[in-house]
Amino acid sequence: MRVTKAQAEQNRAHIVATAARLFRERGYDSVGVAELMAEAGFTHGGFYKHFRSKADLMAEASANGLSQTAVRAEDMCVADFIETYVSREHRDGRAEGCTIAALSGDAARQPESIKTEFAIGIESMLTALQTDGEAPAETDQHRARATVIDVLAHSVGAIILSRACPDGSPLADEILDVCRESILSSLAHADSGRASDGEPRDTTAADG
């Protein structure tokens, strides 16, 4: 039976979603094309009807996963995002979790096309995290961006370090707990600093 254009697009999207999940779970090099296609429910030969190479699929799957994480971040405040992200559930749910935390180490050794997708995805995450509340004044934009870079890097690092430990290791949970508390504390401190900066100066005594 001839496959319609709409069905072909659905098949491609399903392959990309399957690849994104498998790559997050096991890394780029540990997932072969034949296995990937079988997992998606298709034959090995059908792969090249959709993609020129595995590298092309890796780039598209990475973009797909990165955009999903950014969309989730947009739907919650930064503090709620940190509570969800720097958690045991995320740490243990590698296949359904953040592409940045799962594959940044792999991406560093991949072609420029994949690194470019990561740069775009990381920028989208920074934008999503920075949209919480009102846009900062121009003079505060650099500080606001520095804050979200620190938050994202700290959060991703916490997950990576925790995953490097044995699953039942107390250290795996300790890393998450310490980093989550530190990130939330730094955010609260930054918020209080912005509130202080925004308060009008009391000039009563000087004017009197």
Q: Is the pLDDT of residue 200 over 80?
A: no
In this predicted model, what pLDDT tens digit does every residue of 170-197 receive, in sequence order?
A: 999 999 999 999 999 988 877 666 555 5
The boundaries of the domain holding residue 37 are 5-197
Considering the domain boundaries, does residue 203 fall inside one? no
Q: What is the mean pLDDT of residues 78-96?
A: 96
Inter-axis angle of helices 5-26 and 99-107, nearest 10: 80
Q: Are the C-beta atoms of residues 145 and 130 closer than 8 Å to each other?
A: yes
Q: Are the C-beta atoms of residues 14 and 40 closer than 8 Å to each other?
A: yes
Considering the domain boundaries, does residue 58 fall inside one? yes
Considering the domain boundaries, does residue 24 fall inside one? yes
Considering the domain boundaries, does residue 207 fall inside one? no
The residue behind tokens 């949209």 is 131
State residue 137's pLDDT score: 57
The residue behind tokens 């950014």 is 70
The residue behind tokens 């992200």 is 85
Q: Is the pLDDT of residue 144 over 60?
A: yes
Average pLDDT, the chain: 88
Considering the domain boundaries, does residue 204 fall inside one? no
Which of the given ranges, 138-147, 168-177, 187-196, 198-207, has the highest pLDDT on average? 168-177
Backbone region of residue 132 per phi and psi (left: phi > 0; alpha: psi in -120 to 50; beta: other values)? beta
DSSP 1: -
Considering the domain boundaries, does residue 167 fall inside one? yes
Considering the domain boundaries, does residue 43 fall inside one? yes
Our count of domains for the chain comes to 1
Q: Model pTM?
A: 0.84
The CATH number that applies at residue 172 is: 1.10.357.10
Considering the domain boundaries, does residue 208 fall inside one? no
Beta strands in the chain (DSSP E): none
